[in-house]
Chains A and B, each alone.
Chain A
Amino acid sequence: MLPVTAPGKISTDWSRQDMARLVAADIPDGACVNLGIGIPELVAQCVPAGREVIFQTENGLLGMGPAPAPGQENPELINAGKKPVTAIPGAAYFHHADSFAMIRGGHIDICVLGAMQVSAQGDLANWSTGETDAIPAVGGAMDLVAGVKKIFVVTEHTTKNGEPKIVAACTYPLTGKAVVDRIYTNLAIIDVTPKGLVVRKIAPGLDLAAVQKKTAAPLLDGGATSL
């Protein structure tokens, strides 16, 4: 992923950290949340003061804490991205079928995932480019989008080559159909609704037309003003 200062980037874009903060602001007190790999991982450090949020990692831990101090890593205490983590007081360990019963049984409130493409209908593609020589790997993404109550996607608005990631229809293989509820990008926060994509917030200095220019699906004005 390019740094926000890369050439061609608009200086007023939200940073990865900003995006994580915006996601965290929408997570209510008491929620159980599963975080994907990449920008979603940053969300854990952005929970507003006074809110208690429980993080689940699908490899068998409810009550995941921050990364351990250097030297304190335990190879048998990791997250779904296989990075060392800690367990908070009150945490619970469980096996994989129990973990996915939480996920598939609708017990997790919010899942925050990255995306390759999201469609106007909320279809998500985030596991495969469909290239023939690529090694397909899906992990838990299809289970998460099928079972978690709310799916938030957090992603750069366009690819490294400037191609829109929000599209009329996904061209990459789907992770799930009509599963995304809200999209957070470096340019805007967009709700997926039965009427279409509704823009709720826009990054500083931009307007709806500027966001639309980088989006390959029609955007509706949700009364968003640039923050």
Chain B
Amino acid sequence: MINKQAESLAAAVADIKDGATVMIGGFGEAGSPIELIHALIDHGARNLTVISNNTGSGRIGLAALIANKQVRKMICSYPRSANSMVFPELFRRGEIELELVPQGTLAERIRAGGAGIPAFYTASAVGTLLAAGKETRQFKDRNYVMEHGLRSDFSLVKAARADRYGNLVYNKTARNFAPIMCTAATTTIVQVQELVKVGEIDPEAVVTPGIYVHRIVVVTNPAQESQLVKENKCYP
């Protein structure tokens, strides 16, 4: 019988090795899989390359993973926001690497990686610093820059509902990067608020088909980043 439910958060992340590339879903706090990230902090894998749109806020979730010196390099589009101090501090001290990518290029690189496309051309960033040193090519009357697909060893994402096959449904703008990150990983680990019986999710409404999902952990009441930041919480 197919059952992708992991025993625990700890068991779900137990084989993430030092040096792994990890995609982490979320746009700001929306869709950030905080409990999985905290499990990764407990697990302790280091020297990670993390692909995520932002760098977290306060000292919880992704920011805590970075503060715990587990991340060697961030690939993201917007590494600073209102309450992010951890990444800027480490970056200014030269203790973390940054690959800055336009948000649409980041999304397309992940989509391409998941779809087996090694590289593609885009007009985004042409003529800017972020295209410097990259191959460009003219199609018809316009210039494009070549960008490479991205894949990960693990993707950690949050969804609203799953069944044991791994079919997923998300909540509003918490969906953001999660569906494409599921496609781009060797192992996709999902925290969901609710696990339902197979057949309960309308096939017409499935956003991520189960083929892209390998492990599911139920976190019924996930923490909200902004609430933890407001309470000045710190992890661990």
Contact = CB atoms under 8 A, between A and B. Distances in A.
Interface of A: 57-61, 74-78, 82, 87, 93-97, 99-100, 103-104, 128, 133, 135-143, 146-147, 173-177
Contacts of A59: 27, 30, 173, 176
B173 A93 contact: yes
Nearest to A83: B28
A138 B172 contact: no
Contact of A78 (B30, B104, B170, B177): B30
A42 B102 CA distance: 25
17 contacts: A61-B173, A75-B29, A76-B171, A96-B53, A97-B107, A100-B104, A100-B108, A104-B123, A137-B79, A138-B77, A139-B103, A140-B102, A140-B103, A142-B128, A146-B122, A147-B124, A174-B127
B226 to A, nearest CB: 6
Interface residues of B, number: 53
Interface of B: 27-31, 53, 77-82, 87-88, 91-92, 98, 100-108, 110-111, 122-130, 170-180, 207, 224-227
A75 B30 CA distance: 6
A60 B122 CA distance: 20
A126 to B, nearest CB: 11
Contacts, number: 143
A60 B207 CA distance: 13
Contacts of B227: 75
B81 to A, nearest CB: 7
A142 B129 CA distance: 11
Given A95-B207, A135-B88, A77 B172 contact: yes
Nearest to B114: A97
A134 to B, nearest CB: 9
B170 to A, nearest CB: 8
A76 B78 contact: no
Contacts of B173: 57, 59-61, 76-78, 93
A76 B107 contact: no
A3 B77 CA distance: 31
Given A104-B123, A139-B78, A95 B177 contact: yes
Q: Which secondary structure dominates where chain A touches chain B?
A: loop
B126 A146 contact: yes
Given A95-B180, A138-B78, A104 B126 contact: no
A85 to B, nearest CB: 8
A95 B105 contact: no
B172 A87 contact: yes
A93 to B, nearest CB: 6
Contacts of B98: 136
Contacts of A93: 170, 172-173, 175
B104 A95 contact: no
Nearest to B125: A142
Q: Shortest 8 CB-CB distances between A and B: which pairs?
A: A143-B104, A100-B104, A177-B127, A96-B107, A97-B111, A76-B174, A140-B103, A82-B28
A143 B88 CA distance: 24
B180 A96 contact: yes
A76 B128 contact: no
